[in-house]
Structure 1
Amino acid sequence: MSITTNEYGQPIGAPVPGWSPRPLPSAETLEGAYCRLERLNAQRHGEDLYAAYRSASDDRDWTYLSVGPFNDPQAFQRHLETAERSVDPRHYAVIDKRTGKAVGTLALMRMEPNSGVIEVGFVTFSPLLKRTPISTEAQFLLMAYCFDELGYRRYEWKCDSLNAPSRAAAERLGFQFEGVFRQVVVYKGRNRDTAWYSILDSEWPVLKQAFKAWLAADNFDAQGKQRASLGELRKRLS
């Protein structure tokens, strides 16, 4: 790989010709085959989301989130009202198109339009969508929106370094591990070392093809089991 140098012979970053700041997210709805993402609305989505989250056998899904768990609907509704008003993070409800019900949420956050960097976070998926095509498609819809429509250069995923399920999800979705930042956050009275992952715009074309191939109807048998994993499809396309 060639190295760019300045007039003093110092190595500098590669030029980004024609770059301009990216727009902030503004989409109210993103449509997929299995789900759609709607801008979070506490009144419209609150009852469905509370029921979806309470269908879990315990509160472990809230351990690594900075909020929750919520054991009464009034407290949960207040949380949603606060999230609805937020611009960064910008929260979306995941709607199961078969039932029309909200079954989880996720958000775009830590937006840096001048550099084209954005993060997906506050991923709060209920048992009604975990391990279903909906959970993958919801992530794909946000990625495609940020890369294809808004033109961002870098899409990030960060989590507690001890959160093994989140780290596995990032790797399954094609994020690249970049390292652990120590003692970055204090939440719920405890320390968080943060694991960083990212996808770059140069990596997106192959990932996009893999997502589309994985989500295709013919990738699932009659019992709904995948024929090829996302990882296998990425290897074939690389």
Structure 2
Amino acid sequence: NPELALYMDDSRFGGAVPSLNALRIQQKSLGSFDFRNGKKGLFALKGTPALDNTALSEANFGGILLPDSASPRAVDLLPIFYTGVPNLRPYQLATGKPESSPLSAGKPFINNFLPTLGDMLRLNMAVPVTPRNSPDFSSLGLVKAAVLGLTDSRFTASGTALQFIPNMDGFPNGRRLEDDVTTIELQAVGGVVLAAIGLWFDDYVAGQSPVTPRLVNNISFTSGPTRNDTTFKTSFPYVQTPWRGFDYTLKPRF
């Protein structure tokens, strides 16, 4: 829900939920783009040549992803959780994009777009499974895949070339049992996907690393427990029998 961003905005209710202090939505990304609730986001570019041949053009999906001047998060939260994400500009990682050019072509990332508005899981089956014993495996799903694609030399060295990045099979591209869905969703509301495509956080300075303190705060955020209190089964249904509330022994917090 984009309204959660009200609690990640110091001009609104940013101090109301201290546990969300690490998450602060962009209000002047690249010096001009404001993604706070009710602001314009990228809408000022709607219908301009800057969006030609992008997913945001009127010839493609601009009517869905840039619907009006007061829905700035339709450009990221809507495709992430509601329509899927097309492998079109600007929905490619900032890797390989010129500095401060989020609309340019970048590193292909995920392609599971269906132009149907519906709250459903969409899965790109072309993405290989990340082995559970891989040192790259992470419960942060696509967020971790984006971090690797932006910072790991195995993937940054090849620029805009298509590569399979570990955890591209994670939520919200489908859902693995280990995925920390709540943390991923809150990081997304906090603007991490905007940053991943080059709409950096407000503390970014041109010519310097985009891995700024605000970006680090976002990708380091957790919503609570970071591991299960039991194991998964090796066969269907894979999850253990739920704990019985009347005889469950309280365990220390993680």
Q: TM-score, normalised by structure 2?
A: 0.27
Structure having the higher strand fraction is 1
Larger relative helix fraction:
1
Q: TM-score, normalised by structure 1?
A: 0.28
